[in-house]
RNA sequence: UGGGGCGUAGCCAAGCGGUAAGGCAACGGGUUUUGGUCCCGUGAUGCGUAGGUUCGAAUCCUGCCGCCCCAGCCA
């Protein structure tokens, strides 16, 4: 359960509210649609929606799509779906979207021109009162059931262009004709001032004319830029006349061929925030040095409404995985994984397919907290959150992944008993089910050792073990493969007096083992997932090496011929189930067929024996 | 050598001048027909470091050390 911890950002929001600087809270989640969302984005989603939720505000989903060459609708669709999934049942009432096709409204505010685009809150699903809700300062509420879409920075290209013109008129921006190489050269170095553009002082009229012709498509890519006139000797390099607009004759996934000039992030972001009435613009630490520019742009214009405030927090890093979109893209493109939604990927879609509940991911984001120091969170915490969420609600079932045949010699041939099994010991309301038991069963290969190591409580020759919900059996003999010497079958006897529920006094058996009746078993494929990398920090690449070299080739293990109890034949893809003593699993959303399920292992159960065994191996 | 940040336990992180929260991990023990869950217990005379201010400092001041970010017409 998310606790809603206090942090320095919430503190700031509270202060702004208390001081009357703002009357409501509007945040935004502004991914660039050039990749799938990952667990690092989930942190930002939880932060921004969490703050909106806590203060009765809203959080706009916005595509930060100012670079046509890297973006694609595939990504806007996946991002939208992932955000909705992640906040479902928690903050959907805070999700700010807008009617499809709606653009900012130009209006007059106290004699000053203003652009504004109000969010429409998506309809709550549960109370039968759908429709939009007008937001503070918003325009007309729209009709019910109207199709909504995310905000797009590219929807603001026209107002942004107007703002740029205004900057030029104020003498705060100019068209520069230097080549990219010249601009680089003249920017100086962190410890050395830059050199002013020779076009810096051309007239307002000339810049205006040139900028209009840039828009009209008169010049080739990179021929000119619009630059802010700030200070070429500023110690902060982002204040050295940064580029505001560049020429790119490229079609855009959302605006098509309407534009051939595109605004840069720094120019577009703060103004997009402003247009949407964002109060708090929360981003990651690397943008901290951009903050003076963010503020300069807003202050350079004569904007009639309150300015958004940018603040920064540390991005999430996690052990045994990579988080950069560039690296994730490579894993996909080079086929190291099956796709963006490969269950081993740290993407939202990958984790969803693997069976991680949204609630668990939110709990994780809550527990890692938000602060400003660089961090490396252990993946074990995420796994803990998944287990904790699943334990009370995942029904239990028995599944044997690596089957070992057991023949119970004194059990009547052809006889079948329906044993009663509890669906979830954590929750009696989940009821019980019947599991068939017969003379030949399968147990896990791991649950039998011909030569048991110390502290091994499971089955071995002459030893007893309890079959969950059934009888105590004793191993009497083994059958070996004459060629390999491997044990291929266990012979055993059962004690009729030990039937589940009627355990005789004084009968102590050290271990209980799961099983599946051979005649009743459902065959299935099961996919086991481990960490994608063999090292804790795969992004920390040694000299001259590539991060893909530390990929773990055994991260996916596909098991076929697994034996499942009959109740598992028909399952809803994605629905969690605990295979007793093994872990949490869910039927794969793509591979499963009725009667022939494919299961993904979401996460293992904690395994005390594995730890003992590991220690024995070391000692 | 410029600017901006950050250093509290293996990891994350509270702390906001009154004597070091919490979670994960780890390690003991109890319960248990899941070696799961649950329950109980164990960790910083110490907060990067050296000084200073103060009755009192993780918190304030100064110096030093370490790590991260910034010189895309990417975001």
pLDDT on residue A615: 87
- What ipTM does this complex have? 0.98
CA distance A602 to A578: 9
Ranges assigned E (strand) in A385-532: 396-397, 399-400, 403-408, 417-422, 432-437, 440-444, 464-467, 472-480, 487-495, 512-513, 515-517, 522-529
Query: Please, what is the end-to-end C-alpha distance for chain A in angstroms?
Result: 40
With distances taken from each CA to the C1' atom of nucleotide B13, the closest residue turns out to be A369
Helix A358-368 to helix A39-54 angle, to the nearest 10 degrees? 80
CA distance A527 to A563: 13
Which residues of A carry out catalysis?
A: 32, 315, 325
Nearest nt by C1' to A610 Cα: B35
**pLDDT tens track for A51-84:** 999 999 999 999 999 999 999 999 999 999 999 9
With distances taken from each CA to the C1' atom of nucleotide B24, the closest residue turns out to be A381
User: What SS3 class is residue A131?
Assistant: coil
**pLDDT tens track for A221-272:** 999 999 999 999 999 999 999 999 999 999 999 999 999 999 999 999 999 9
Nearest nt by C1' to A269 Cα: B75
CA/C1' separation A512–B33 (Å): 6
| Bridge partners, residue A326, by sequence | none
Listed residue (A159, A164, A365, A370) closest to A273, CA to CA? A159
Nearest nt by C1' to A382 Cα: B24
CA/C1' separation A242–B62 (Å): 37
CA/C1' separation A605–B37 (Å): 10
**pLDDT tens track for A588-618:** 988 888 778 999 999 999 999 999 999 888 7
CA/C1' separation A501–B4 (Å): 68
Q: What's the per-residue H, E or C state across A69-123?
A: CCCCHHHHHHHHHHHHHHHCCCCHHHEEEEECCCCCEEEEECCEEEEECCCEECC
CA distance A276 to A273: 5
Nearest nt by C1' to A188 Cα: B71
pTM given for the model: 0.95
CA/C1' separation A379–B15 (Å): 26
Nucleotides of B under 7 A from a protein CB: 1-8, 10-16, 22-27, 33-38, 67-75
CA distance A108 to A164: 19
Joined together, the tokens standing for residue A28 give 């935004």
Of A79-88, A303-312, A341-350, A495-504, least confident by mean pLDDT is A495-504
């Amino acid at each position: 359960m998310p606790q809603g911890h206090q942090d320095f950002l919430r503190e700031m929001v509270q202060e702004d509210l208390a001081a009357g600087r703002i009357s409501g809270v509007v945040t935004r989640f502004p991914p660039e649609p050039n990749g799938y969302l990952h667990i690092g984005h989930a942190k930002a989603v939880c932060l921004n929606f969490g703050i909106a939720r806590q203060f009765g505000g809203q959080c706009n989903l916005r595509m930060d799509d100012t670079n046509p060459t890297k973006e694609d609708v595939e990504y806007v669709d996946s991002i939208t779906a992932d955000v909705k999934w992640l906040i479902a049942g928690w903050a959907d009432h805070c999700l700010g979207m807008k009617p499809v096709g709606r653009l900012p409204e130009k209006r007059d505010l106290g004699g000053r021109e203003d652009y504004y685009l109000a969010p429409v809150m998506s309809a709550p699903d549960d109370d039968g009162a759908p429709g939009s809700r007008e937001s503070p300062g918003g325009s007309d509420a729209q009709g019910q059931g109207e199709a909504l879409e995310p905000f797009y920075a590219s929807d603001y290209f026209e107002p942004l262009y107007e703002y740029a013109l205004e900057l030029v008129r104020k003498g705060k921006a100019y068209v520069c004709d230097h080549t990219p190489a010249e601009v680089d050269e003249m920017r100086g170095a962190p410890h050395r001032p830059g050199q002013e553009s020779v076009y810096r002082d051309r007239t307002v009229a000339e810049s205006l004319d040139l900028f209009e012709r840039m828009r009209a498509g008169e010049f080739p890519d990179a021929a000119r830029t619009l630059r802010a006139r700030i200070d070429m000797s500023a110690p902060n390099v982002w204040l050295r006349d940064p580029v505001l607009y560049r020429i790119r004759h490229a079609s855009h996934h959302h605006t098509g061929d309407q534009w051939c000039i595109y605004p840069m992030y720094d120019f577009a972001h703060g103004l997009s925030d402003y247009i949407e009435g964002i109060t708090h613009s929360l981003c990651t630490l690397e943008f901290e040095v951009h903050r003076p520019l963010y503020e300069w742009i807003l202050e350079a214009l004569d904007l009639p409404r309150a300015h958004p405030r940018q603040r920064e927090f540390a991005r999430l890093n996690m052990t045994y995985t990579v988080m950069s979109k560039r690296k994730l893209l490579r894993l996909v493109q080079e086929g190291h994984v099956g796709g963006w939604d490969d269950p081993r990927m740290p993407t939202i879609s990958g984790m969803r397919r693997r069976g991680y509940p949204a609630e668990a991911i939110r709990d994780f984001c809550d527990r890692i907290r938000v602060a400003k120091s660089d961090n490396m969170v252990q993946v074990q915490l995420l796994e803990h959150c998944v287990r904790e969420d699943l334990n009370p609600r995942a029904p239990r079932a028995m599944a044997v992944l690596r089957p070992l045949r057991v023949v119970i010699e004194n059990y009547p041939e052809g006889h079948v008993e329906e044993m009663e099994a509890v669906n979830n010991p954590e929750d009696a309301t989940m009821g019980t089910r019947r599991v068939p038991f017969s003379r030949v069963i399968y147990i896990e290969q791991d649950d039998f050792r011909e030569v048991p190591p110390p502290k091994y409580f499971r089955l071995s020759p002459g030893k007893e073990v309890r079959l969950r919900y059934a009888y105590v059996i004793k191993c009497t003999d083994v059958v070996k493969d004459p060629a390999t010497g491997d044990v291929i079958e266990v012979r055993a006897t059962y004690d009729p007096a030990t039937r589940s529920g009627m355990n005789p006094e004084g009968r102590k058996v050290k271990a209980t083992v799961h099983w599946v009746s051979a005649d009743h078993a459902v065959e299935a494929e099961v996919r086991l997932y481990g960490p994608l990398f063999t090292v804790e920090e795969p992004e920390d690449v040694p000299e001259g090496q590539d991060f893909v070299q530390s990929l773990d080739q055994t991260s996916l293990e596909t098991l076929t011929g697994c034996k499942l109890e009959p109740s598992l034949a028909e399952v809803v893809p994605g629905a969690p189930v605990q295979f007793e003593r093994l872990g949490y699993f869910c039927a794969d959303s793509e591979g499963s067929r009725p009667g022939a399920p494919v299961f993904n292992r979401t996460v293992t159960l904690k395994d005390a024996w594995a730890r003992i065994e590991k220690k024995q191996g070391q000692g």
